[in-house]
Amino acid sequence: MSKKFSIVGKEVIRQDGYAKVTGSAKFADDIIFTDMLFGVMVRTHVVHALIKNIDFSAIENNPALTTIITAEDIPGAKKVGPIKKDQPVFCYDKVVTSGDVLAMLVGKDESELRKLVDNVKIEYNELPVVTDPENALNDNTPLIHPENKTNLINHYPLLKGDVKKGFAESDYVIERRYTTSYQEHAYIEPETVIAYPFEGNNGIKVIGSIQNPYTARRVVSEVMGIPLADVRIEQAELGGSFGGKDDTMNILAARAAVAALKTGQPIKIKFGREESIIESYKRHPYRLNYKVGFNSDGKIKAMKIDILADGGAYASMSPFATWRTVVQATGPYEIENVETNVNAVYTNNPYTGAMRGFGSPQPIFAQESLMDEIAAELNISPLKVRTINGFKAGSITASGQKLDEHEVSFNKVLEKAGAESCFNVKWNKYRKENNKIDGNFIIKEKQKSNNFILNENQFIDPENTWRRGIGLSVSFRGCSLGAEGIDAVTAYLSLQPDGSIHLSCGLAENGQGLRTTFSIIVSEVLGIPIEDVHYLNLDTGHNSDSGPTVASRSTLMGGGAVQNASSILKERLKKVFYKYWNINKDCNLIFNSGLITYGNGNKKITFKELCSLAYNDDSNMSTLGLYAGPKVDWDEESGQGNAYFTYVYGCQVAEVSVNISTGEVYVNKVIAVHDAGTVINLLGSEGQVYGGVTQGAGFCLWEELNSEEGKIKELNFDQYLIPTCKDIDEIKPFFVEGNEKYGPWGAKSLGEPTLELTSAAIANAIFNATGVRYRNLPINLEEIILLRKLRPDNLKRGSA
């Protein structure tokens, strides 16, 4: 790379690290007010019902109770939602899912309040429960939200070319069906929020584990019926989010706000793990049907895709998450004829919304599995089928976007990953070894029964139970929000007379390391030590609304805003320098190591002195930097348009061991090659890869959450299994750093690409190891051995 930096791209220690290793970092539950009251939820006992009556008479005189909050206490909007306003803050006419809340008990002693919950008598008129998304649009299926007249949340079509013609011209046509499960965010910090009224009840302050403070502010403002400026949201240290502390937290903020203004006291709501899993949204389970036509040389001619997303009881982010799906469903391949239909539907299941990846991990699992199925059909290498079809500079995407505005690094990431992993050699070796056992260990005739007694020829050699395999997957991903919404960020930068700096941004630190990344950018532009940059926590009263901290947009958009703010102040400081040294024209000044120098170095001044001079010269010491994304467009009818202004590319290779007697899959190694543009903090970028790959492996292998008759069975970490340190051996990140014109020095997105690729790479490796194609996530023990899921009993999912 020709880019030369003093700090960008190096391993930089987190600025908030000291507080986090000493236990002094303040998360929301660590904040206590002396006159604080607690809010405890009264939840529905049933999944789908009309509410006939709520009777509090058994508890209303209890001394533990200060007040009860219901929908009747809400001064403003009773229903909220990011796109469709379909989610009640407190249910008042009907309940539609098992996490629904009808009231909140408020009092001093949280544990005493919890004892009262069961004494609230709720009478229901129960309705049939809709659990199968495939039935959601049937005529006789009850409507979840009757006012919508349909259970359809959204339908996105996409049409390019003529698929009929494409299939007719294909040598081969195959059809495959894939399914994915819910994924719980499983942030280790459960949801917590505190609200307190300002003096004289003039507005409300909320502190909490809130991912998107501006969204929370809008929701609280709507629910309270007060101006945005009367609501101040402050982010506490956030204990993980991954897209998950959005809708749920906004509603909790609103509940706390209603109670705080009613009582005039601070209110804390603190979820335990079970409540967190019951009420919070999840990643959408998808059913994906792919039909693909291709020629014997490996060229794909046509693809027809039908995807059904279970949106659960509320629309939440379904319309946006599934829009990303329709844009990216064909993967990073140029295909002449495409027809895609993506539907998101309402059911009475737990609702689904944003989670790291956001509508991409599911189609990538399907689509990248399918690429290997094509390769297997033609008996060619997985690398070859991808090279033949992959995007190149100037390729046209399924939505008709010409890729000529950024470096299309498809081949770069594929080649790097192939070389680093010795892919072809290993893939051929394992395939040969494993052919011997293909069909020998899967108990084919026992698939559908619970008879686990083996025939003589089905015994497995106990010395030879582990099989090795390697697999890969590639993706392209649109950066930032795309045609989803308004895309602009501001950053505030303020020089102090002693040369120290205040920095803040309208985007939020969710644990990913944004404070440090942004501080590095200031440090690079102004040539000062990063220790001199003091990051101010996000408070909606101090920054301007910069949209949500989502879509891997922080480094690209927020970083751009910070870079612009730094450049503005740099220009002002230059003018002070010229005045000091009596220089009459603009010239090249070097800002480095806390020193500003001109020419051969005889005219110089320290950064600290320059700030002091600027201050004494009545300069404007503060500025806001703005970064706005270029315009994008989308036609909803045809599914055509320039969906995102730039894209990133990544390739992951997984090497696994499969125990064919127990069904265990151990991940030996994942090589993750990403072109995320310029790397700002190497330590943080590697951290994104390690964490993303691990979550992706969890999605693929272990994490299973079931809704049985609308109720979740896996309510804590004893049953919902997220990866531990013992499940994955080696993860090796590589950054290829392609050229990019947007973002700070061409830095773009990394957080989500790291997760979205892993499940397909592992599934392909399992195929290489076993000769069996598993199309239903998670590929857990029973899926490997029995080719089906054990729960729920009536579930039709599984490879059998």
Partner 1 sequence: MSHKIEFILNGKSVCINTNANRRLLDILREEFQLTGTKEGCSIGECGACTVLMNNKAVNSCLVLAGQVNGSEILTIEGVAKNGLHKLQENFLMAGAIQCGFCTPGVIMSSYALLLENSNPTEEEIKEAIAGNLCRCTGYKQIIKAIKDTIS
Residue numbers at the binding site for partner 1 (CB under 8 A): 11, 13-14, 16-27, 29-30, 32, 185-190, 237-242, 272-273, 510-513, 683-684, 686-687, 689-695, 716-718, 722-726, 728, 731
Sequence-ordered list of residues with C-beta below 8 angstroms from that of 280, at least 6 positions apart, any chain: 99, 184, 185, 191, 244, 248
Q: Residue 733 is encoded by which pair of tokens? A: 């990140």
CB 406 within 8 A of CB 647: yes
Kindly give the residue spans of alpha helices, DSSP state H, lying in 268-402.
Answer: 273-279, 318-328, 361-378, 382-389
Length of the chain in terms of residues written: 800
Q: Report the nearest approach of partner 1 to the CB of residue 678 (Å).
A: 18
CB 654 within 8 A of CB 470: yes
For helices 382-389 and 361-378, the axis angle rounded to 10 degrees is: 110
CB 74 within 8 A of CB 90: yes
Nearer to partner 1, 245 or 574 (CB): 245
Nearer to partner 1, 558 or 733 (CB): 733
Q: Report the nearest approach of partner 1 to the CB of residue 130 (Å).
A: 31
How far apart (Å, rounded) are the C-alpha atoms in residues 242 and 512? 9
Among 158, 199, 446, CA closest to 303:
158
Q: Report the nearest approach of partner 1 to the CB of residue 218 (Å).
A: 24
**CB-hemisphere CA count at 13 Å for 130?**
25
List residues bridging with 477 in a β-sheet. Answer: 648
Q: Report the nearest approach of partner 1 to the CB of residue 661 (Å).
A: 22
CB 156 within 8 A of CB 341: yes
For tokens 């301007």, the residue is: 544
Determine the 3-state secondary structure of 538 from DSSP: coil
Nearer to partner 1, 244 or 359 (CB): 244
Please give the radius of gyration of the chain, using alpha carbons only, rounded to the nearest integer: 28
Burial 416-442 (b: 16+ CB within 10 A, else e): bbbeebebeebbeebbeebeebeeebb
Burial 687-724 (b: 16+ CB within 10 A, else e): bbbbbbbbbbbbbbbbbbbbbeebbbebbeeeebbbbe
Nearer to partner 1, 605 or 728 (CB): 728
How far apart (Å, rounded) are the C-alpha atoms in residues 280 and 193? 14
CB 480 within 8 A of CB 546: no
Torsions phi, psi for 724 (to 5 deg) = -105, 180
Nearer to partner 1, 176 or 732 (CB): 732
Nearer to partner 1, 272 or 630 (CB): 272
How far apart (Å, rounded) are the C-alpha atoms in residues 652 and 696? 11
Nearer to partner 1, 22 or 588 (CB): 22
How far apart (Å, rounded) are the C-alpha atoms in residues 508 and 542? 13
Q: Report the nearest approach of partner 1 to the CB of residue 717 (Å).
A: 4
Nearer to partner 1, 578 or 690 (CB): 690
Nearer to partner 1, 29 or 234 (CB): 29
Nearer to partner 1, 335 or 747 (CB): 747
Q: Report the nearest approach of partner 1 to the CB of residue 736 (Å).
A: 20
Determine the 3-state secondary structure of 345 from DSSP: strand
Q: Residue 710 is encoded by which pair of tokens? A: 């609308």
Nearer to partner 1, 96 or 355 (CB): 355
Nearer to partner 1, 13 or 393 (CB): 13
CB atoms within 10 A of CB 148: 14
Burial 300-317 (b: 16+ CB within 10 A, else e): bbbbbbbbbbbbbbbbbb
CB atoms within 10 A of CB 454: 11
Counting Cβ atoms within 10 Å, is residue 586 exposed (0-12), middle (13-18) or buried (19+)?
Answer: exposed
**CB-hemisphere CA count at 13 Å for 493?**
30
CB atoms within 10 A of CB 45: 11
CB atoms within 10 A of CB 679: 24
Nearer to partner 1, 14 or 574 (CB): 14
Nearer to partner 1, 277 or 777 (CB): 277
Q: Report the nearest approach of partner 1 to the CB of residue 425 (Å).
A: 26
DSSP one-letter code for 296: T
Nearer to partner 1, 303 or 689 (CB): 689
Handedness of CA 102, 108, 109, 110 (dihedral sign): positive
Q: Report the nearest approach of partner 1 to the CB of residue 29 (Å).
A: 7
How far apart (Å, rounded) are the C-alpha atoms in residues 682 and 689? 11
| Maximum C-alpha span of the chain | 95
Q: Report the nearest approach of partner 1 to the CB of residue 697 (Å).
A: 9
Nearer to partner 1, 21 or 229 (CB): 21
